[in-house]
Structure 1
Amino acid sequence: MGNLRVGAVGRGGPVVEVAGALAGEPVTAVVVTAEVEAGALLRSANSIAAGLTGVDGRVVAPLLGAEVVDGRVCFAVPRRGAPLGADGPVTREVAAAAANALGAGVSLLVERGVRCPVPPLFGSRVDDLALGTPLPALPGDEAHAPPEGGPWGEAAQVHACASRLWWLLTGGPPTAVFPRADIPRTAVAALRAGLAADPADRPPSVRALTTAVVAGLSGVDAPRAFGGGYRLGEVIGRGTTGVVLAGKRGDGARVAVKLFRPDLGAAATERLRRDAGVLIGVEHPNLVRFHDVPGEPGQLGVVMDRVDGGTLRRLLRGRPLPLRAAATLLAQLAGALAAVHGAGVVHRDVKPENVLLTRAGAPLLADLGIARRVAPAAELVCTPSHVAPEVIAGAPAGPPADVYSLGVLAYEAFTGAPPFTGTTSELFHAHLHRAPARPGGLPDPVWSVVASCLGKDPGARPTAAEVAYRLAPFSDREGFVEVPLPRQATDPVRPARPAPPPVDPPAAPVEEPPETPPAAAPAPPRARAWLWPVTALVVLALLVAVVAFSP
């Protein structure tokens, strides 16, 4: 005890937050200025801290300490800014991400037996939201408290989550009339169910509440069973075209099921069905696989691998990866992207948010951009920070556009920041006209790969397979290269002695795939063109050996 130092506490409410330090490390100090029973609060805090032992701080922020300082009960929590929603109502997308974060965080509290009020969410990005530090019930917590009062069991936490989500969407407490016309009625109904006065009328769990809210915000009415053989669970992702739910096949295998919005139209739905069918045949160890394209009247779904390790965005968090780790990750992703291109499909949205990580840390390219083909031709659907210049200029997205986006991702993996920042218009201008600044510390061959991917001329960029081959010598795979075969398992090729990566990007143009993938398997990708010089060198070496040892 006595390790917590608290800054000046000015006037404020019964609970204020000030800068502090714990054992010399900066923290946020939550100071209770109202008169309370200090012993009871500290005992409750110690119980919460014990329940949070070993919890991932990216899901729930830890309680670092609790003690009495200058006669006031103080809690040490990680440094944080303003909570989500402090600047006013949030968008549907942010609210859906908030519901997912609440579902994950509060469900973890329930599993650990932590009974306390539901804290607010913190984070600067929709994929970086985490539950704040759980604290004992404090003066001022009444805004989200359930009407029945009493202990903070799961029914009370369901009510508090619904109340917090209502505040995030409206900026105020629950009212008889929901004030926003852009929020689907199904989402509002889910919130009202969570706010029911009788605990027995509320959803049975926080996950049940947040799943219903996210499904409602996505415009998808998520069924419990789908496609004749899949049982659906909680929402684990959301996009502009639908919602992703955890699911199980009839044999018990864990999968993810994406349900597309039923209002996309018949033509768009048919394109989605066709493209997803093509992707079922694509295999690569670093690609989220498509398994099935089930459907019911008015509803199309896609069954994919379920991956539980988070996203590359969370791993990066504005920090560069070590050179070898970054090169390994990028070579793997480039190989997966080459497999997709070999099947005649363009991803269209390569970015850290669409790279999932297994629990072992292996990257998996996900969210293949089939859904982006449903956009009207005149509508530019893209991620501004990663879009290729030719797409901004109105050209169709082909494999070189994916390679450009991979180059943006590579730049961030090696440096901790993307090559360009700013508003959407500033980003578009930079992609079209500016060259990225060369970061320090990158070997020339590695920078050559990144710079060639970020070239303005799509025809001068390397293919994804060439990127994998050129980064392999800097990875921990000792030159092992996955050369994908279209619509088949990968073809491992181990060069006898990998040559140094070329300095200049290949000049041969890259052909764009047809809009509709052909029924027959396409020709092998251009990346295998490097095999003929390797073969020639091997033959030449054999001839030299024969001559050298001839009598």
Structure 2
Amino acid sequence: MSIETGLLAQGPIATVYAGKDPATGNDFAIKMFPSTFDRETSAWLERERKALAAVRSTRSVLQIDDVLTHPDGRSGVRRELCPGSLAGVLDSGARLGVPDVLALGAAIASALAAAHGADVLHGGVSPHNVLYRASGEFVLADFGVALRRRFPRDPMYAVEYTAPETLRDDTLSPASDLYGLGAVLYVALTGTPPFPRHTGQQPGERILQVLREPVAPIQDPAVPGELAATILRLLAKEPADRPQDVASLARLFTKLSRPGGEIVTGDSSDLPSEEEEVEVEFDDFAQVHRPAVPVHSAPAPVQVVQAPPRGGRTLIREFSGPLKTERGFPWKPVALAGGGVLAAGLAVLPLVLGPAEIGGQAVPVAAAIPSPAAASAPAPDVKLALAPPQDQSDHVQLTWTAEGELDFVVIMAGERLETKQLVAHRQRSLDVPVDPARRYCFQLRATDGRHIYTTEPVAIRGARCNP
């Protein structure tokens, strides 16, 4: 069997090839990862594969047909070759009509219902892993948590399709899969994701949108009201507020697509024909520039997957842009860890370390980034206060107080280090690893979804912090 006869796509981690079985003439796709699957990942992946094989009759579940090991040590998976992805269609500027969106919804919902019934989560529904066959049938690929845990992705990758609870503490569940379904249907129907990126918008602002802001309603009169309302329910912030029965969703989408179910209008399908040249896209996991964290164990597939508790090995996700000193030399990042901590690019204020400590010049450790526009109503006094940091040499203990239900982020600026932003979601304390030989400044920010609250920066080890 030929494995790598042609390169199809080069993602940030995986590389996808096309192959052909000389015995049958069948085409297939091979997705190769940059390293081998360890024993725990292989065992977990095999259980997911067997569970999905039991629902093979659900055609919209794209199966993993085989697990391969390349002679150079890389591992990969083989699956059916599809002409293209929904992401490729949408990137071309096409917008699906209501009939196609209903067919899309029925296919994805049926796939999720079958997988959830077999105790397998998807873990990352997005337009990149919604593929279509030459017949035009939509299928959902890249099921399972094993490979997502083995090759964790940057939190900003597909953030507009990621459920709030996944951003907060890495929880994956049937409800987070349904949020992804809602986000995919929203972008397919409107042409824009639920929280599109705006020019000049910082990554952290988009995270705050997903965590707190409501999704703009679908106001197109051509869209059936029941369909629009269902999509908004799927995009509810709280998992309990989303539909609980995905199988009933599949039946609803099928019902709406039939005469008499509801008047369905919309443009004809924008899917490419078989003759058109289509770039094949796959759902790759964005690379995190650190060694992959091994899976804790290989338990039987479960319905909810959460980040490990404090004290265990934690899947760390971080986002920080490269910064330079005034002389143009790049600053090295500091690795951060902590139970349930998500590092993300939230808007920060400029902090300056004392000039005596850095060659006689004040060197900014973060560029000024404007905060989101303040709401018209006066901000309430939430009494946000950051206590003096407790310096423990190799880590710093931070605690704070505030009134109300808020999401928190700690801004950390270090001497000759990148500025880091640590999203603590609703915790009131954080242990932050630090270099015992460096000086640091810390600042706390919080949001209630309408306002941004900020403390004055505080320092340790004689650093001078200028807001």
Per the normalisation by structure 1, the TM-score is 0.42
Q: Which one has the bigger helix percentage?
A: 1
Q: Whose Rg is larger?
A: 1
